[in-house]
Amino acid sequence: MATNKKVREIQFKLKDEDYQSFGEYRIKYTADGRKLVSRQRLTFIIVAIGVIALFWIFPISENVAKAVTVIMAVLGIAGAVFAEKMVLHQQRTAIEKSQSDLERVHPTQNKVRFGEEGFTAEAGGDVTEFAYSDVKLIDLTDDAIYVWMSDQMIMPVPIHAFRNESEMEEMYHWLIEKCPQAEGE
């Protein structure tokens, strides 16, 4: 990372671990990710209620209906409780399976240049410019710095883009100085 006061430049390639971390982060901390988990919970509950209702409306026998009620209640509750873990597992599995997929996002060199007024992100020939006033949140995790422009546009800067963890933390604090409206929790 360049330490020039005017411009800071970070270069990195996203690895499979970065996609995994970013996917987990999006599921846990974005509105879309939380909505996905909520839908998963709701699906388990609706299916359990539907199956129970079918066995009570069209009973084979009362004992079977009672057994199905117990089983579906347990499955519905367990599904609701473990919905986030299931969604995270589905996401990890999809990333692992995509390794041989032609539509997979292939690692390209990423370059982020942080200037005095804003920053430029360059990846695979695409260049996007942002003003610091566009940044809604900056979040620091063990794996990356996440720079949020919106719930759908989050730029990860992974830990391996820095020489060490203290350099990543220094960059995080520098960004917070540039974007005080975006300080993470």
Range 8-15+107-179: architecture per CATH: Roll (2.30)
Domain ranges, ordered by start, for the chain? 8-15+107-179, 27-100
* Contact residues for 182 (Cβ-Cβ < 8 A; gap 6+): 135, 136, 137, 138, 147, 148, 175, 176
CA 35, CA 56: separation in Å to the nearest integer?
Answer: 31
Q: In the numeric block, which tokens belong to residue 63?
A: 């004992």
Calculate the alpha carbon distances from 146 to 27, 52, 100, 138, 167 in Å.
14, 44, 27, 6, 15
**Chain-centroid distance, C-alpha 15:** 15
Tens place of pLDDT per residue across the chain (185 aa) = 444 456 789 999 888 788 888 889 889 988 888 999 999 999 999 999 999 999 999 978 999 999 999 999 999 999 999 999 999 999 888 877 776 555 555 567 889 999 888 999 888 788 889 999 999 999 999 899 999 988 778 888 999 999 999 999 999 999 999 988 877 55
- pLDDT score of 55: 93
Owner of token pair 């999006």: 26
- The answer to whether the beta carbons of residues 143 and 26 sit under 8 Å apart is no
pLDDT in tens, 22-57: 889 889 988 888 999 999 999 999 999 999 999 999
Cα(182)–Cα(185) distance, integer angstroms: 10
